[in-house]
Structure 1
Amino acid sequence: MTTAPAGFDPSTIGRWLEDRFGVTDFDVEVMSIGRSNLTFAISVDGLPRWVLRRPPLGHSGGSAHNVSREGRIMAALSDSPVPVPHVIDIVDDPEVLDVPFVFMDHCPGFAINEPSDWARIPAGPGPNDKRACAFGMVDTLAAIHRVDIDDVGLGDLRRNGGLIERQLRRWLGQVEEISMRDIPVIREVHDALAQSMPDPAGSPVGLAHGDFKPNNMIFAPDGGVNAVVDWELTAVGEVLTDLGYFVAMLTVPTDYTSIWVPTPDLGFPEAEELIDRYQDVSGHEVHDVGYYEAFAMWKLACIREGVYTRLVTGKMGDLDLDPEVAGAGVEDLARQALTLLEKS
């Protein structure tokens, strides 16, 4: 095989692949999906066959990068209406890899990372056009939120307190612990969000994906959703946080996200249409969307600061990203959250 990327030990993993599957010749590459946990595609005879997902280099714990937890969530959802990759195994063996990892079948299809990906879906009008694809994303989100967590064995993910309350505390703590830059607006927005938080008792509660956007889904050629990926931020709590995040991603400047999101001029529905669709298919009454958008912007600023720090410290594997580019816009995103909060 070619030279292995950082975070993937071809000798120990190779022995495991041979013992488990009888495979001795394979290639590996870093997948483009994800900028946190490291994801590798393993090909045999030139065709992608498996996916291995592991924590970032230098990871020292915490639920945000707990791939065993992420793998368990996907495995639990395998028989639900939510499309997920097929998890083969969750491995925690230092003789194979120095950190736990999730080993999955490769899911066919493509993520929407750039305009050329979106262009693969028919323009319409028709049953499989771009608008249908977008509404299918919303239907998938509603399916996640309808999951009975006790029925699928995820009831132990419940935590005391509201999801927003917990995440405000967690993300601020993480930024203040690892950040190498002084960005006081992060705390300023945190305080504003904490003061105007909707009453958790009045919000629908369920399984919240935490990072639901087009590049965290794998699409079939007709625009249908083959799988939802990147479950590392999943939690039980106010599900409207997912809807606010999904809508917020439509307005975030592309330069500040490292991803591309379709816009209405390219056939994507307006935010109001997506919200109406969600309310119709989920059965949840939608409220305070502006607040949840603001929360999403602030969380995105925190995530971006974390990515910057890991790039600077060499803990992002072989991803070829400029730390200064990846870390730009953190303050702008936080201030955009303040603007959304004031409007809401």
Structure 2
Amino acid sequence: MTQAPAGFDAHSIGRWIEQRFGISDFGVEVMSVGRSNLTFTITVDGSPRWVLRRPPLGHEGGSAHNVAREGRIMAALSGSGVPVPNVLEIVDDPEVLDVPFVFMDHCPGLPIHTPTDWESIPAENRRDCAFGMVDALAAIHAVDVDAVGLSDLRRPGGLIERQLRRWIGQVEQISMRETPMIHEVHDVLAQAMPDPAGSPVGIAHGDFKPNNMIFAPDGTVNAVVDWELTAVGEVLTDLGYFIAMLTVPEEFTSIWVPRPEDGFPTSAELIDRYQAVSGHEVHDVDYYSAFAMWKLACIREGVYTRLATGKMGDLDLDPEAAGEGVEDLARQALELLEKP
């Protein structure tokens, strides 16, 4: 094979692949890189065969980028009705790689990152594709946490309550500037929080959007991926996040998602579909969408701070440009919370 990409120890992993699968001649292609988990496609005879997912370079442990946890969630969901990649091994052996990794069968298809990706799906299939995303979300929320062996994901308190505490704490810890809108919206979210006892609870994916799914050419959802942020809690947080992504300006997230003008159903249609398929009574969607926008504002503030302090110096981004939009996102969240 040609020189392996950074993060992929071809010698050590190659030896493991040969011992495990009897194949020594393979290629490696980078599927995704950055500060999230790194993903590589392994090809055999020029065709994709497997996928390896590992923490980012420089990862020092901790709960973030826990690929073993992510792999265990996907493995547990196999056969549950949730479309997930087929996990073959979760490897935590420093003699193979200095960090844990998940080794999976390659799942055919592509995520939706750009308008071109969306347009590759036949026009007559696009609405069904969108409704298929909602169906996949409802399938996740229908999983019996105990039956699939994921009861240890439960934590005390509601998911919203925990995340409000976590994100405002992170902003206060790292921010170099005043963030009045983030704090104002935090307080309104805390005061207006729906009663967790009145909300359906289950597995919440945490980052459910089109670029975290793999689609067949006809638009069928072949797999839901990127389970890094998965938790047990109020599942309507996922629906609110999905809806929020359809309205948040792309320049504030750097993530393109199809909108109704691109042939995507309206928010109301998506909510109706979710309610019909899941059987859950949908309520407080504006609140959950506002919560999602507020989280995005917190994340963006963190990116701004790291850029401004030179901790993301390998990225050619202007800190001030990256910092723009934090208050706009928080303000959009506040507008949703103040809707009659």
Question: What TM-score do you get using the length of structure 1 for normalisation?
Answer: 0.90
**Aligned partner letter, 1:289:** V
State whether structure 2 residue 280 is matched by structure 1 residue 297.
no
Report what 2:197 is aligned to.
Answer: 201
Report what 1:162 is aligned to.
Answer: 158
Per-residue deviation at 1:64?
3.5
d(CA) in 2 for partners of 1:24, 1:194: 55
d(CA) in 2 for partners of 1:9, 1:188: 47
Report what 1:21 is aligned to.
Answer: 21
Share of identical aligned residues, percent? 78
Per-residue deviation at 1:306?
4.5
* SS, match of residue 338 in structure 2: helix
Number of residue pairs aligned between Structure 1 and Structure 2: 337
CA distance 1:298–1:4, change in 2 (3 Å):
farther
State whether structure 2 residue 279 is matched by structure 1 residue 283.
yes
Structure 1, residues 231-259: CA drift from partner, whole Å, max 9, x if none? 11111110000000000000111122222
CA distance 1:136–1:326, change in 2 (3 Å):
farther
Q: Is the 8 A contact 1:35 1:307 kept in 2?
A: no
Q: Is the 8 A contact 1:189 1:298 kept in 2?
A: yes
d(CA) in 1 for partners of 2:97, 2:90: 12
Deviates more, 1:164-173 or 1:152-161: 164-173
Structure 2 residues without counterparts, runs of 5 or longer: none
Deviates more, 1:245-254 or 1:64-73: 64-73
Per-residue deviation at 1:333?
1.8
Q: Is the 8 A contact 1:36 1:307 kept in 2?
A: no
**Aligned partner letter, 2:210:** P
Report what 1:268 is aligned to.
Answer: 264
* SS, match of residue 287 in structure 1: coil
Report what 1:10 is aligned to.
Answer: 10
CA distance 1:34–1:72, change in 2 (3 Å):
farther
Per-residue deviation at 1:121?
1.4
Cα RMSD over matched residues?
2.4
* SS, match of residue 206 in structure 1: strand
Structure 1 residues without counterparts, runs of 5 or longer: none
Report what 1:100 is aligned to.
Answer: 100
Q: 1:218 aligns with which of 214, 222, 226?
A: 214
State whether structure 2 residue 203 is matched by structure 1 residue 233.
no
d(CA) in 2 for partners of 1:39, 1:310: 24
Deviates more, 1:89-98 or 1:33-42: 33-42
**Aligned partner letter, 2:234:** E
Q: Is the 8 A contact 1:70 1:231 kept in 2?
A: yes
Question: What TM-score do you get using the length of structure 2 for normalisation?
Answer: 0.91
State whether structure 2 residue 248 is matched by structure 1 residue 252.
yes
d(CA) in 2 for partners of 1:256, 1:218: 24
Q: Is the 8 A contact 2:34 2:56 kept in 1?
A: no
d(CA) in 2 for partners of 1:106, 1:219: 13
**Aligned partner letter, 1:279:** Q
**Aligned partner letter, 1:160:** P
CA distance 1:5–1:182, change in 2 (3 Å):
farther
Report what 1:137 is aligned to.
Answer: 133
**Aligned partner letter, 1:224:** T
Deviates more, 1:88-97 or 1:31-40: 31-40
d(CA) in 2 for partners of 1:308, 1:209: 26
d(CA) in 2 for partners of 1:328, 1:100: 36
* SS, match of residue 131 in structure 2: helix
Structure 1, residues 46-66: CA drift from partner, whole Å, max 9, x if none? 222211112223333443421
* SS, match of residue 282 in structure 2: coil
**Aligned partner letter, 2:97:** L
Report what 1:313 is aligned to.
Answer: 311
d(CA) in 1 for partners of 2:177, 2:87: 38
Q: Is the 8 A contact 2:32 2:38 kept in 1?
A: no
Report what 2:110 is aligned to.
Answer: 110
Structure 1, residues 87-123: CA drift from partner, whole Å, max 9, x if none? 0111111122222111111100011111111111121
